[in-house]
Structure 1
Amino acid sequence: MKILKKALVPFAILPLKNISYAQKRDSIPIKVRAFIADKFPQTRDLYADFTQVTPHHFSSKLMGTDLPENKMKSFQQLKAGANIYFFKKKTWMLSTSLNYRYMAFNTETPVLQEANTKNDFHYHTEAINFNYFSTLFKKTAIYTASASVDGSDQHFERVRGMVTASIVLKATPKTKMLVGIAGMIDPSSQVPILPIFTYEHKFNNGLVLDVLLPKKVLIRKDVFANGRLSLGTEMDNTSFYIYRNRKTYEFRQIEINSGVTYEHNLGGNFIGTFKTGIRNVPQARVFDKEESIKDYIFEADYQSSFYVNVGISYNPFGKPRAK
């Protein structure tokens, strides 16, 4: 259950980045808007990235029965997305998020398909996000509501809902902190309520502690003229749908990536990103789409592996800076 909480929190707080575009100077301080915008770089206006994972062994179970040891010979993932802002008013904003993933992997023996060991899957999500901005106890408060759908290259599959409420507790030049709560409307979720916590502290030596629990814990530092180096741990997930025996199943995997990230401002609102390190997968399950992830039929236990990720983003609505 703790692992699932970690996977869902980033999606619950995803829309908060948008407030940096929706407020006027007299409603939310500029330093607060900049802080929240910088916490959610995955919501850049347009982005694409590619991930390659090194070969690694894994064990698995099907319906509680151990399967023979297997090997992931290759794993690649391509992601692309867009975040479009429809209406921006003084106290509210409406936007949409469009995301696509293509995954391909090659195992030594069949796992998810009987006919062959080559698997490739398409997964997409589309969301409408509504943000409302106010004050609570004389502090900045942000309320969001999101409705989303996802699916494969064959069908739309699941409809989800989400609401969040958060408040900025502190916003000084050196330290900023935000707390809140998120509520999920999702039949596959194990937990309906999740906490939100974000913290940033700038040290005198130029280092920045960047915490978004439980999504990431990073130490950042600006380097060169237009770059930024980050060390730490980030969490991601991989999902796709499987069609077998006239039934629909969902594969959901949680990934913990620990290593180094370098971002560079390429000019003209373009940002290039390079990431590498060690990947651990604490949870990988297949379950009936109509059931919860706790009622899984297949699970896998992967060895640690190395990953490399390269990406580029374009931010026509924002400033040309590295995030």
Structure 2
Amino acid sequence: MKILNKIIVPLAILPLNKIIAQEKDSIPQKVVAFVTDKFPQTRDLNVEFTQLTPYKYSSKLYNEDLPDNKVKSLQQVKVNANFYFIKNAKWMLSTSLNYKYTSINTENPTSIFSENTGNKNDFHYHTESLSLTRFSKLFGKTAIYSATASVDGSEQHFERVRGMLTSSVLVTANAKTTLTLGLAALIDPSGQIPVLPLPVITYKHNFDNGWVADIIMPSKIMMRKNIFTNGRFSIGTEMDNTSFYIYQNNKKYEFRQLEINSGVMYEHKLGNNLIGTLKAGLRATPSSRIFAKEDSFKDYIFDMNAKPSFYFNVGISYNPFGKPRQK
């Protein structure tokens, strides 16, 4: 299963969310107001805490079955920051800083995640990226070209360098509908294919009954509706991932897990720049693997099959560079 593609695709989509909102000279102002609403896709600073309910899992090490185990608790803290150095009608230069802390407590001791055979293991993972974006025209349509370089690692070392090229066209942009079609080329030495082209589609439509379809394929399908004065309710499915590095017996390994979160979300505007978020639902993990850093994702040594579990997430974002919605 080409799970690596699904894990990294959301990174390729990130520039598109920002770009549509910033292309003010090529898109009518009423369209910009629709896309850059009071709940922006990309937050300047975002902090989240996630708690999972206990779940059982089965696993294999070097294709040999291991005794079934149970994750008694799993907590995650995620911090994201996005900064813009250049932002005008033709160019955008930005950086994204991301940190994720994962704490896993299992029912039976395991030595898979650590040199110490214990029940509890903590992991720190970070990524930093620099993106350069160019706005242009292609056959009379707004065209967006982006190049991104990123590095990741743990609290001990920087580990991998990756690259990404994206190209997209703004096919439709009016007061109700925004549609972009594009292609992302992922450059990753640990992938099954070192350079992998992938289609990217974003679609947003405002229905007459107040509901909004917010789709970013293949990472997110959501239906949203503004409620109360400063609230928004959403229901749908989003993809996420958990990655971290493991250091054992003087060797480096990488853990990657695809996560599909299906549930509901409520966001509330707390002020001009603050947004609070609550999420809850069911998390499925189609694949979880550990492989040596020098190998690719397909050459895994550990594979885990986990049962679904319920998640609860609370977050807050601060958006000093955002502007209130035009009325």
TM-score, shorter chain, exceeding 0.5: yes
Find the counterpart in structure 1 of residue 77 from structure 2.
78
Find the counterpart in structure 1 of residue 292 from structure 2.
288
Listed one character per residue, the Cα deviations across residues 7-27 of structure 1 (whole Å, up to 9, x for unaligned) are 22110121223335654x433
Find the counterpart in structure 2 of residue 141 from structure 1.
143
TM-score between both structures, scaled by the size of structure 2: 0.93
Q: CA deviation at 1:188?
A: 1.2
* 2:118 aligned residue (113, 116, 119): 116
Q: CA deviation at 1:291?
A: 1.4
Matched, 1:171 2:173: yes
Q: Which structure 2 residues correspond to residues 1-12 of structure 1 after superposition, within 5 A? A: 1-12=1-12
The change in CA–CA distance for 1:149 and 1:17 in structure 2 (over 3 A counts) is same
Q: Which structure 2 residues correspond to residues 203-282 of structure 1 after superposition, within 5 A? A: 203-282=207-286
The change in CA–CA distance for 1:41 and 1:282 in structure 2 (over 3 A counts) is farther
C-alpha contact (below 8 Å) 1:267/1:320 kept by paired residues: no
C-alpha contact (below 8 Å) 1:31/1:171 kept by paired residues: no
Listed one character per residue, the Cα deviations across residues 105-126 of structure 1 (whole Å, up to 9, x for unaligned) are 1012214234212100000111
What CA distance in whole angstroms lies between the structure 1 residues aligned with 2:50 and 2:82?
21
C-alpha contact (below 8 Å) 1:188/1:292 kept by paired residues: yes
C-alpha contact (below 8 Å) 2:162/2:188 kept by paired residues: yes
Give the letter aligned to residue 112 of structure 1. Answer: F
C-alpha contact (below 8 Å) 1:237/1:253 kept by paired residues: yes
What CA distance in whole angstroms lies between the structure 2 residues aligned with 1:17 and 1:37?
9
Q: CA deviation at 1:131?
A: 0.5
Listed one character per residue, the Cα deviations across residues 66-101 of structure 1 (whole Å, up to 9, x for unaligned) are 100100000000011211111223311111111111
C-alpha contact (below 8 Å) 1:270/1:320 kept by paired residues: no
The change in CA–CA distance for 1:51 and 1:320 in structure 2 (over 3 A counts) is farther
The change in CA–CA distance for 1:205 and 1:286 in structure 2 (over 3 A counts) is same
Matched, 1:49 2:51: no
What CA distance in whole angstroms lies between the structure 1 residues aligned with 2:128 and 2:66?
36
Find the counterpart in structure 1 of residue 58 from structure 2.
59
Q: CA deviation at 1:190?
A: 2.7
C-alpha contact (below 8 Å) 2:17/2:41 kept by paired residues: no
Matched, 1:16 2:16: yes
1:12 is paired with a residue whose SS is helix
Deviates more, 1:69-78 or 1:205-214: 205-214
Find the counterpart in structure 2 of residue 92 from structure 1.
91
Q: Give structure 1 stretches of 5+ with no counterpart.
A: none
Listed one character per residue, the Cα deviations across residues 211-240 of structure 1 (whole Å, up to 9, x for unaligned) are 111111111111000000001111100000
1:10 is paired with a residue whose SS is helix
Q: Give structure 2 stretches of 5+ with no counterpart.
A: none
C-alpha contact (below 8 Å) 1:19/1:33 kept by paired residues: no
Listed one character per residue, the Cα deviations across residues 170-209 of structure 1 (whole Å, up to 9, x for unaligned) are 1122222111000011111234111101112222111111
What CA distance in whole angstroms lies between the structure 1 residues aligned with 2:36 and 2:192?
29
Q: CA deviation at 1:41?
A: 5.0
Listed one character per residue, the Cα deviations across residues 39-81 of structure 1 (whole Å, up to 9, x for unaligned) are x956310110000000010000001001001000000000112
Give the letter aligned to residue 233 of structure 1. Answer: T
Give the letter aligned to residue 217 of structure 1. Answer: I
What CA distance in whole angstroms lies between the structure 2 residues aligned with 1:249 and 1:41?
36
What CA distance in whole angstroms lies between the structure 2 residues aligned with 1:288 and 1:74?
26
Q: Aligned pair count?
A: 319
Give the letter aligned to residue 5 of structure 2. Answer: K
Matched, 1:128 2:130: yes
What CA distance in whole angstroms lies between the structure 1 residues aligned with 2:64 and 2:206?
51
Listed one character per residue, the Cα deviations across residues 233-275 of structure 1 (whole Å, up to 9, x for unaligned) are 1110000000011111100000000010000000131000000
The change in CA–CA distance for 1:200 and 1:287 in structure 2 (over 3 A counts) is same
* 1:312 aligned residue (301, 308, 316): 316
What CA distance in whole angstroms lies between the structure 2 residues aligned with 1:128 and 1:28?
25
TM-score between both structures, scaled by the size of structure 1: 0.94
What CA distance in whole angstroms lies between the structure 2 residues aligned with 1:88 and 1:201?
26
Aligned CA RMSD, in angstroms, stands at 1.8
